[in-house]
A = this chain, B = another copy of it.
Amino acid sequence: MIAEYISVGTEILLGNIVNLNAPFLAEQFAKLGLTAYYQTSVGDNKARINECLDIASQRADIIVLSGGMGRSMDDVTKESVAMFLGKELKDDSIESAEIIPNEFGESSGEIIEDKDKLYVLLPGQFNELKPMFLKYVYPKLANVSKSTIITRTVKIAGISEEETAEKIDALILKNSNPSIFIYPKSGEVHIHVTAKGENQSECERLIQPVIKELKTLIGEYIYTTEDEVSLEQSVAELLMSNDLTVSTVESCTGGMIASRLINVSGISNVLQTCYVTYSDRSKHKILGVKKSTLQKYTAVSKQTCEEMALASGLSLKADVIVSVTGLAGPDSPYPDKKVGLVYIGCNVKGKVDSIECNFVGDRAKIRECATTAALDFMRVCVLRYIYEVKFGVKEK
C-alpha cells in the first residue's frame, strides 16, 4: 500500500522551523511496510491544500496530513479535507471521523475513511504528533495494511554505515521477509528488521533468527535491540546496575558527553563532577596531565588523552572516567595532525585504555561523532571490566 505525507504550515514554507514530523513519519511508514513516493509541504491556504489532496489522492491509499489545526490556524486542514471529501464539519470535527485524542496539546486528530482511502489528520507539533501516531494511528495502519508488520531495531555503534553494510550484506540479500534496512544516525547505526506475517507470533518467529545472525555477525557493536533505548541510556544503565560512578573530562567535545548522559533521568545517582578542560593549562592544573607530556606529544595525543583519563589531579575520582581530546577544526595547529583526529580514553577503576579515531565533517559533525564514539567506548570498556571481574580473567 502507498502512503503520502502532506505537511501544512506557512512556517515551513518560510523556513521558520525544521520539519521533524517528515523523517519520523517516513520511518514509521517504512516500519509499517507502506511505500512512500512523495512528501509535500503547503501553506495554510485552503485552495492549495485542496490541490495537494487532489494530487495525493490520485497516487496514494493513505494520506497523512499534519499541521494547520487548532484555533489560531482557523482549522484550515480540517476545513480543506472536509471540503475535498464533500463532508460536513460538526463541532470542529469532520463527519464520520474517528477522533485521535491528544494528551499533550489541544488539537485532537482525526481518521476518515473515504472511497477505500484513509485520511489521517494530526497536529503539527512534533511532541504531540509522535505519541498520537504511535498510540492510535500506527495500530490502525498496521490493521489496514491487512497483515501484521513488526519491526525490531538493532542499534550499533563503533562501526560505520559502510562497514556495517559490508558485514551484513549477505544477510540482507538472503532475507526478504524479514527485510533488513540500515539507517545511519549521527555517529551510530540502526538496523531495522521488519517482518510481515499473519499475526504477531509469526512475525516474531521470523525476526528472531535474523536478530541472532546479526548478533553473530556484529554482536560486539550492538548496544541494544530495544527501540526506545538510546546509547546514553544503555551506558547509563550499565553503570547504574553495576554501581559504578562516572565522570567525563572533555576537551574538544566540551561538555557534550556529560550533556548526553544527563539526558538519562536517574543518572544523578552515579554521575560525579564532569570537567571541560579545553586549554593545556586546564588539563595540567585540574587533571594533572604532565607539562612534559603536553610539550612532547601535544594536547592531541594518545599520551595526553590517557593522562586525562587517569586524572591524577582530581582528589575525588569516579570509578569510570572518559576523556576526549581532538582536532574539531576548522584548522589544525599541527602540521602532522589532520582535522578530525580524536583520541578517546577510558579509565575503569584505574585501568586506562584509549582509541584513536579519524572523523570527517565540519566542526559540529566531528564533535558529535566524537561524543557518540566516547559513549560507545565507555560501554565497551565497562563491559570488558565486568567480564573480567565476573570470569576472573587476569588483567594484563
30 contacts between A and B (CB under 8 A): A12-B23, A12-B39, A13-B37, A13-B38, A13-B39, A14-B26, A14-B27, A14-B181, A15-B23, A15-B28, A15-B29, A17-B23, A18-B23, A19-B22, A19-B23, A37-B42, A37-B45, A39-B41, A248-B255, A253-B259, A254-B262, A255-B276, A258-B276, A259-B367, A263-B363, A271-B276, A272-B281, A273-B275, A273-B278, A275-B276
Partner of A258, one of B27, B37, B48, B254: B254
Q: A39-B41, A263-B363, A273-B282 given as contacts; is B15 within 8 A of A26 (CB)?
A: yes
Within 8 Å of chain B (Cβ to Cβ): is A316? yes
Within 8 Å of chain B (Cβ to Cβ): is A175? no
Docked-complex contact B15 and A24, CB < 8 angstroms: yes
Within 8 Å of chain B (Cβ to Cβ): is A70? no
Partner of A277, one of B267, B273, B286, B364: B273
Chain A contact surface mostly? mixed
The 7 closest A-B pairs by CB, nearest first: A255-B255, A15-B26, A15-B27, A254-B262, A274-B276, A255-B258, A39-B41
> What are the interface flags for A328-368 relative to B under an 8 Å C-beta threshold, 1 for contact and 0 otherwise?
00110000000000000000000000000000011110010
Within 8 Å of chain B (Cβ to Cβ): is A36? yes
Docked-complex contact A38 and B28, CB < 8 angstroms: no
Minimum distance in angstroms from A286 CB to a CB of chain B:
5
**Given the complex, which residues of B lie within 8 Å of A14, measured CB to CB?**
26-27, 30, 36, 181, 183
Docked-complex contact A13 and B26, CB < 8 angstroms: yes
**Given the complex, which residues of B lie within 8 Å of A181, measured CB to CB?**
14
How far is A36 from B37 in the complex, measured between Cα atoms in Å?
Answer: 22
Within 8 Å of chain B (Cβ to Cβ): is A40? yes
**Given the complex, which residues of B lie within 8 Å of A330, measured CB to CB?**
265
Minimum distance in angstroms from A227 CB to a CB of chain B:
14
Most B CB atoms within 10 A — which of A254, A274, A363?
A: A254
